Amino acid sequence: MPIQERVKLRELSAEDRICNYNEISLGLSEKELEYEANRCLQCKKPSCIKGCPAGLDIPRFIKLAREKKFNEALSEILEINPFSATCARVCPYGFQCEGSCVLNKTGRPIAIGAIHRFISDYGEYQMKMVTDKDKIKGKVAIIGGGIAGLSAAYELSRYGVEVDIYESRPVIGGLARACIPPYRLAREVLDREIVYILSHGAKIKNNITVGKDITLTEFFNIYDYVILAVGASKCWSLRLPSNEEDDFFAYSAIEFIENYMFRKKIFDRTLKILIIGGGNTAIDVGRISIREDLFPTIVYRRGKEQMPALPKEIEEAEEEGVNFKFFEVPKRAILENGKFKGIEALQARLGAPDSSGRPSFEIIEGSEHFIEGDVLVSAIGQEVDSEVLMGCDIHLERGLLPHDFGGEYEDKILSCGDAVSGPSVVVKAMKNGLEVARDVIGRLDKRNP
Ligand code: SF4
């Protein structure tokens, strides 16, 4: 049987998207959904499920979508993913379910992400508490109101556990709100999912920094367990020697993005932004800069093929006008009376693979040259912001939280999400939040049989 063409996913053109933050992907119409859902082979051994970090029963929700049972399909998805509409927008499908779809080898995998998005947008969100006999008694504090913390709160409150979420920001949603640009995830979608999650009973305590406003010891007097879900929101600092007396510190990419998302600090239009790094965060800074009438250039030490950013993100950034300079390594900052004017960079080339199998880069001696810029942004990696844990006597391991706390905290404190794994995709933080919540539910259940 010939394999039908994959539905063409409609998106805003580069021209239509660079002057606003509207979602780029336009989703499927009902007709397109019907066509695409009918292409699914309903495999007996569906390889797509193996590619989904959440383990969603993909053929099942596609079948329900075919039958136009969107409410039922969404209810089943929400059992294992409370951030359904968010994941449907931000998951890298090509590397997950669609990459594992049996039709991928024909170049026409089912557009699972688009079907998932349709169900999440058109299905009805229904409360999903467990029955009274399965309810568990207990009180849990969750520190951090991002994807992992909210997912943990969802699972615990569904089981009747009393949950308080402590968030240092004035708004909830963590890095998903502060750093995923709305052209990928509209804020009303995130808000809708958070409202749904909180409708199960968890309470929010905003503007409270643990360690500063309340100590962990105080928590233990009130709560049975504490879950640390503080994310990895601090950029590795980039410090360069300069042509003047002092070293120069680059601006943090996370701070840059957050300032624009919350309209806190805005640079003068037309400034040249030099972004050091090659991951998705560097791309986000570049694409936000384009929308703010700035002139961004991403400076990366390897080539385009070695960039850790998603290929689609790189492609869209190029379409939108982000400039790229490959095989460039910053050597020092060039200042004029303390004001940043650009960097002196060295050219690089690929070398032998390093221990991870990735090609290393070699600097070409004597290749110094000048790259002009007004602002230098560092997007070279992230870690846990230790300020969030000020006074908690918790020590980070390579910038991240340990799984096991031991000592006086043994059995009462657990951690999850990016704070443990390092920056990762939303779906993994979500899953880890649910897993930690299930662990706590098991412990509470044993304590109060
Ligand atoms: Fe459908 Fe592809 Fe999954 Fe098979 S592997 S059930 S074709 S989505």
Residue 409: its pLDDT value, please? 64
106 CB within 6 A, ligand 1: no
Residue 404: its pLDDT value, please? 65
Closest Cα to atom 2 of ligand 1: 101
Half-sphere exposure for 140 (CA within 13 Å, toward CB): 38
**How does DSSP assign 272-332, residue by residue?**
EEEEE--SHHHHHHHHHHHHTT-EEEEE-SS-GGG--S-HHHHHHHHHHT-EEE-SEEEEE
Cα of 98 to ligand 1 centre, how many Å? 8
Task: Report which secondary-structure segment, H or E, holds 94.
Answer: none
| pLDDT, one tens digit for every residue, the chain (449 residues) | 677 999 999 999 999 999 999 999 999 999 999 999 999 999 999 999 999 999 999 999 999 999 999 999 999 999 999 999 999 999 999 999 999 999 999 999 999 999 999 999 999 999 889 998 889 999 999 999 999 999 999 999 999 999 999 998 889 999 899 899 999 999 999 999 999 999 999 999 998 888 778 877 788 889 999 999 988 877 788 999 999 988 999 999 999 999 999 988 889 999 999 999 999 999 999 999 999 999 999 999 999 999 999 999 999 999 999 999 999 999 999 999 999 999 999 999 998 888 878 888 889 999 999 999 999 999 998 877 777 666 666 777 777 887 666 656 667 888 888 888 888 899 999 999 999 999 999 999 988 66
103 CB within 6 A, ligand 1: yes
Q: Which atom of ligand 1 is nearest to the CA of 100?
A: 5
Whole-angstrom Cα distance, residue 134 to residue 122? 30
47 CB within 6 A, ligand 1: yes
Best of 47, 52, 93 for a ligand 1 pocket test (most atoms within 8 Å of beta carbon): 47
Residue 353: its pLDDT value, please? 85
Closest Cα to atom 1 of ligand 1: 40
Residue 277 CB neighbour total at 10 angstroms: 27
- From the list 147, 157, 161, the residue with the least C-alpha distance to 230 is 147
113 CB within 6 A, ligand 1: no
Residue 1: its pLDDT value, please? 65
Residue 403: its pLDDT value, please? 66
Per-residue CA distances from 239 to 21, 348, 424 (Å): 32, 20, 25
Whole-angstrom Cα distance, residue 164 to residue 142? 6
